[in-house]
Every structure is written in C-alpha cells, then in structure tokens.
Structure 1
Amino acid sequence: MMQVCLNGARGAGDGAGVPLSPEDMADAAAAAVAAGATDVHVHPKSPCGDDTLSPRVLAATLEAIRARVSVPVGVTTGAWAEPDPVRRVERVRAWTVLPDHASVNWHEEGAEELAAVLLDRGVGVEAGVWSGTDGVSRFASSPLGPRVLRVLAEVTDPSAETAQSTARELLAGIGGAHGRPVLLHGEDGGAWAVLRLAGRLGLSTRVGLEDTLLLPSGEPASSNAQLVAAGLVQYGWARRSS
C-alpha cells in the first residue's frame, strides 16, 4: 500500500503546495490517487490553518475528498490538534461523518481510551508507534493491539544516514505487532531512506508533503502527486510488478 499524507501539521509557510482547505485537499488527493496512491491520510484544518478535530471541519474535509476519490481516507487525532485527552475523546464522539481510519499516537496520554472509542464507532485505528518514545512498549502490552487496522511505524530520525538503522530498531521493538500489518515511514531528511527500506522489506509505506517537502534529488516537490510518483519508483513498485 502506498498512502499519501497530504499536509500534516504544516501550514502556509511551508509552501503553496501544502493543501489547507477542503477543496485543495480534495484536489491534492485526486491527483495523488491518479499518480498511484491507494490510501489518503489528511489533517483537517481550521480557518486559521491549524490542525483540528472539529466535527464540522472534519465532515467538510471528508465529504470534499470522498467526492473526488474512492480509496480509504483517514485523519489524524494528534494531541497537538486537541491537547486535552478528555476533550479529544469528546470531539471524536461528536463526529457526524466518520473517516475510514484515524491515527492514534500510542505515546500520547489517553491513547487507549481514544482508540477504544474509534473502534467502537467502527473507525479503523492506525496505531502510531514513534521511534524515540515509549509508544513501542505501550503498544506491545495493549489489549487493543489485535484490533487495530495496522501499525503506523513512524521513524522520527531526520537523518538520511541513520534513519534506516533507527527504523530497524523500531521494527525490532514492535516485533510481531499483534499480528497486524505495518506501514513504515520516515520524515524530513530520513523520509526517502526509510521508504526505500520499506520497499526492500515489502512493507506498506507512505509519502507526501506531511513527511517531506523534497524529492529524492533534493529539489522542492511541487505537489503530493509528484512525491507519490517518485515514491513508487524509490519503493521499487515497477520491479515488483514486472
């Protein structure tokens, strides 16, 4: 699976290519899927450009994207979008339009409670397990582990030289991941190195303006679609399908 991560916590200062409005996210998602993405991960934005769990904003974002693509669409539940764990759960309970899946960062306070609510509402959970956090041990002992959709193994090491070794350590810590599929990805300077490792290991991965603003050549990416096209080449999809 090649997931496109359209925007992340980035804002207008990160370049005109980062989609912030529901319409721009829908356009970006459609282009990325046309380029080969099979799943969408998006951060709905408030009018000020901040990540939000607002039911109204989430509904508008999902409806706009789903009008353009037929692949699964997931959202963030990151603590930066709502720092209060109790309020975060309340927000999710109030969602009127549900995503296909939502990422839950297992090192964040209230992750288990939030994941349980999502599962009870029929939303798939991507268990975000970040390198350099206690999310690895928390997820390993989680009774919800066997019920998540997949593990989102997030390598936070931004170095192209060391990100792959950090990724291998993270995967070793995750172990069997409760038997769930693993999506491996990096960020910033480590994004392409980790994506290539995912290709060699045959794991799902993702790419998009959330994870990197640069192409493998180091040139600025003009769009999520351009990153997806480059990601498929770096992953080795053509070789695998031939």
Structure 2
Amino acid sequence: MRIVACLNGDRRPGEHPALPISPDQLAADAAAVVGAGATAVHVHPRDGRGRESLDHQLVTALLDRLHDRVPGVPVSVTTSLSAEPDAWRRLDLVGRWGTLPDSATVNMHEPGSLEVARVLAGHRVAVEAGVWTVEAARVLVASHVIEVCSSVLIEPVEQGTDEALRTLSGIASVLDRARSTVPRMLHGRDATAWPLLDKAVALDLDVRMGLEDCLLTPDGAEATDNTALVGEAAARVRAER
C-alpha cells in the first residue's frame, strides 16, 4: 500500500502556519514525511509569490531539490488547472518540462486532460488519473486513457461522508465493469479526509494525506504540520495490517 504525502496542493500561502511553499520548505517537509512513513510525495510547484505554476524552470528547480533531499522517493507533480487555468497553455507548459517527475496527476474532468495525459505518457511519466465524479470515470474508460495510467485517484468532492462513499461506489463500479486492474488510491478533503482514509485502508487501497487534503487531526485539532498528518495516516495503515 502506498502512502502518499500531499504537501501543499492549491492551499493559499498562510492558510496554515506550516504550509510549505518554497522549494526548500517542500524539500524539508518531504524528508520529514518520508521519515514518518510516506512512500511518495505529491507537490504543487509555486512561483516567488507563492502562486501555483507549471513553468518548466520552476518545476525543474523543485524536482532537483526534492531528488537531492529524498533520493529514490517517487515525486508526483500536479497538472491541475488551478496551476494554469488556460488548458492549451497548460498543455504547452507540461510539454516543455525538461526534468520530469516520476508521476503527474491529471484531473479527468478538466478541459484538455486527455491531451495532457497522452503527452505525459509519451514522455514516460506515470499518469495518475484524478477521478472526482462517476462521469469522469466514464471519460477515463471511454477514452482509453486508462490504458496508459499507473493509478486512478478516486477523489470524491462531497463533504458528507455518506455522499462521498456513494460516489466512491459509483466510480468503482465503472472501473470494475471495464475490468480495470490499474491500482486505485482513495482520498477525501477536509471533512472527508480521515473517513475516506480509513475506508481506503479497509479496502486495501493506496492512501494519501497531508496539508493539501486536511488541516486537522482526526480529533478536530489543527494539525502541527505535514509530518503529524502523515504519521497518523501511517499509524492507521499499520494498525490494519
């Protein structure tokens, strides 16, 4: 079971006191969460103002820093439209990446996602398909992009646990009907982050945790940092094994 630490996501600078923004901060957090049990890290590169960016120079600088600090640990990078709202410019930026991540997430509901996935696959970057809805799962299967994916990230956006679990069931049904054997990860955000992590552990799916997904510990207190969140997630995985 993979335990992926999602270090910053699209959170605004200052949204949490320990949110890592700069390459040095992200590299320090990466080393800490690996020590706490993470097997991979997922990051959203930022520019000098703290804004998300897919610029090839920023991506290269961040990846070089991460690979130096946590050698051998897989690094995943976002391609979300939150980092570049123009779908065609995003495609161009991703195509310009020189230093490549081990994997990249591609949200299937976003315009241009299929093209981005195919460009990444052509560069031999593992594609992690972000599936937020049942319709996105259908797009993933019907387009055959699932055939170049290394994993499917099931990411219900509903903030009620029951509703999120219904979305999980619907997405899983689409994947099962397609006889997909691509590994699956399940995670929630904010109110559903911990319930869906526990569900993922029970289903023996890969898990994800970090300040991108959740700012609170399971008891509702503000988390100290990414290390505290990942350490708790790793403890829950160990408890079920």
**TM-score, length basis structure 1:** 0.94
Using the TM superposition, name which of 135-144 and 120-129 deviates more.
135-144
Q: Offset of 1:136 from its aligned partner? A: 1.6
Report 1:124-203 matches (<5 A).
124-131=126-133, 134-160=135-161, 162-175=163-176, 176=178, 178-203=180-205
Report 1:1-242 matches (<5 A).
1-69=2-70, 70-131=72-133, 134-160=135-161, 162-175=163-176, 176=178, 178-234=180-236, 236-240=237-241
Which deviations, in whole Å up to 9, do the C-alpha atoms of 1:37-61 show, x marking residues without a partner?
A: 0011000001111111011111111
Q: Offset of 1:122 from its aligned partner? A: 1.1
Using the TM superposition, name which of 10-19 and 193-202 deviates more.
10-19
Q: Offset of 1:9 from its aligned partner? A: 0.3
Amino acid at match of 2:68: A
What is the distance in 2 between the residues matched to 1:108 and 1:21?
Answer: 26
Q: Runs in 1 of length 4+ with deviation above 6 angstroms?
A: none
Aligned residues: 238
> SS of the residue aligned with 1:134?
helix
CA distance 1:50–1:40, change in 2 (3 Å) = same
> SS of the residue aligned with 2:105?
strand
* Aligned-pair identity (%): 40
> SS of the residue aligned with 2:180?
helix
Which deviations, in whole Å up to 9, do the C-alpha atoms of 1:3-35 show, x marking residues without a partner?
A: 000000012231221100000000011000000
The answer on whether the counterparts of 2:201 and 2:240 sit within 8 Å (CA) in structure 1 is no
Q: Offset of 1:168 from its aligned partner? A: 2.6
The answer on whether the counterparts of 2:27 and 2:66 sit within 8 Å (CA) in structure 1 is yes
What is the distance in 1 between the residues matched to 2:163 and 2:219?
Answer: 18
CA RMSD, 1 decimal: 1.5
The answer on whether the counterparts of 1:6 and 1:208 sit within 8 Å (CA) in structure 2 is yes
The answer on whether the counterparts of 1:151 and 1:177 sit within 8 Å (CA) in structure 2 is no
What is the distance in 2 between the residues matched to 1:123 and 1:82?
Answer: 19
What is the distance in 2 between the residues matched to 1:86 and 1:221?
Answer: 37
Which deviations, in whole Å up to 9, do the C-alpha atoms of 1:138-193 show, x marking residues without a partner?
A: 01212221221100111111224543343233322332563210011111100000
What is the distance in 2 between the residues matched to 1:158 and 1:177?
Answer: 29
Amino acid at match of 1:119: A
Structure 2: gaps spanning 5 or more residues:
none
Amino acid at match of 1:231: A
Structure 1: gaps spanning 5 or more residues:
none
Amino acid at match of 1:98: L
The answer on whether the counterparts of 1:167 and 1:194 sit within 8 Å (CA) in structure 2 is no
Amino acid at match of 2:50: G
> SS of the residue aligned with 1:178?
coil
CA distance 1:106–1:146, change in 2 (3 Å) = same
Q: Offset of 1:111 from its aligned partner? A: 1.0
The answer on whether the counterparts of 1:31 and 1:225 sit within 8 Å (CA) in structure 2 is yes
Amino acid at match of 2:46: K
What is the distance in 2 between the residues matched to 1:210 and 1:42?
Answer: 9
